[in-house]
Structure 1
Amino acid sequence: MMNMTMDMMKGAMSSSEMPMKGMDPAMMQECMEALSACSQACVMCADADAGEGMGRCGSLCANCADMCDTMMKMLLRVGGWDMQVMSSMMQSTMMMARACSAECMMHAEMAEHCRMCAMACDQAVVAMEKMMGSMSEAMPMGS
């Protein structure tokens, strides 16, 4: 469903609606998919942790899911991008995902959901790093 929606939106948007010249819509889609997968894994991990006495892990997972969801919403609002704000939010989301991954890796051998959550967090970080790299190479519209 995410691919179909993103593909339809990319087709409907004119290049003048993109926040920057040179922005790669495929990279944006890859980032959105990684954020979505991370959010879902974090929600499931937090839910599983609730009954296992792993409050810190569950809280980090819940916070990470919230940040990934917010980051996705910000990415979708291309007309309102502010590069400083977007960069700060991406860096904060990456920090949260790294912290969640590190915590989950401490439980990965005893809890498969933690291992999977850590992997999803790591993949989201990689996708956001790529996206940030493309943002720094692209030029703001009107330049």
Structure 2
Amino acid sequence: MERIDTLLANHPQRPPDPSMIAAGVAACYECGNLSVASSDACLAEPRVAELVCCIRTCLDCSDVCLATARVVSRLTKPSPMLVEAQLMACAEACRICAAECEIHAAMYEHCRVCADACRACEQACRALLHGAP
């Protein structure tokens, strides 16, 4: 996260709170990466048929998180409504994915890790929504 902090702090369009944006971007990237890794781990489980919804939800969440990280990290002439909609979508995708992963968390550690990352990303997105002017 140090690099994104440095980049945002030195961007010509420096935001009022670059560390909050950096934390949100980092949470989105981490959740996106962990969600796709968790879906892959689900695919390797012996009872994969029971995890189809979890796999799909993780992949969808990953796509939304990674897109959100990219949208939020672009500081030049953003559309506030688009950024807000993206953050709201990401928070919701993370909430849904965390709930699905929590169903399997007692049996599969990768689902627990994914659920934790989703909850953290959801909180980071909500913090950006509430901290945005």
Same fold flag (TM > 0.5): yes
SS of match in other structure, 1:81: coil
Structure 1 position 10, deviation (Å)? 2.5
What TM-score do you get using the length of structure 1 for normalisation? 0.84
Structure index of larger Rg: 1
Tell me how far 1:120 sits from its aligned partner.
0.3
| Structure 1 residue 11, shift from structure 2 partner | 4.1
**Matched residue pairs, number?**
129
- Correspondence 1:66-105 to 2 at 5 A: 66-105=63-102
Equivalent in 82, 107, 111 of residue 108 of structure 2: 111
Deviation at 1:7, TM superposition (A): 3.3
Map 1:56-75; keep pairs closer than 5 Å. Answer: 56-75=53-72
1:12 partner amino acid: N
Aligned twin of 1:46: 39
- Residue in structure 2 matching 1:7, options 5, 10, 13: 5
Alignment gaps of 5+ in structure 2? none
* Structure 1, 33-42 or 104-113: larger mean CA deviation: 33-42
Q: How far, CA to CA, are the matches of 1:134 and 1:27 in structure 2?
A: 8
Runs (5+) with no aligned partner, structure 1:
139-143
4+ long deviations beyond 4 Å: none
Q: RMSD in angstroms over aligned alpha carbons?
A: 1.4
Per the alignment, residue 33 of structure 1 pairs with 26
Whether 2:125 is the aligned partner of 1:128: answer: yes
User: Structure 2: how far apart are the matches of 1:108 and 1:7?
Assistant: 32
Q: 1:59 to 1:99 in 2, by over 3 A?
A: same
How far apart, in 2, do the equivalents of 1:80 and 1:111 lie? 43
Tell me the TM-score normalised to structure 2 length: 0.90
Supply the AA of the counterpart residue of 2:78.
W
CA distance in 2, matches of 1:24, 1:48: 36
- Residue 109 of structure 1: CA displacement? 0.3
SS, match of residue 80 in structure 1: coil
- Sequence identity, in percent? 26
Q: In 1, are the aligned partners of 2:5 and 2:19 still within 8 Å (CA)?
A: no
- What amino acid is the match of 1:39? G
| Contact 2:39–2:54 (Cα < 8 Å) also in 1 | yes
Q: Which moved more, 1:37-46 or 1:113-122?
A: 37-46
Q: Which amino acid aligns with 1:112?
A: E
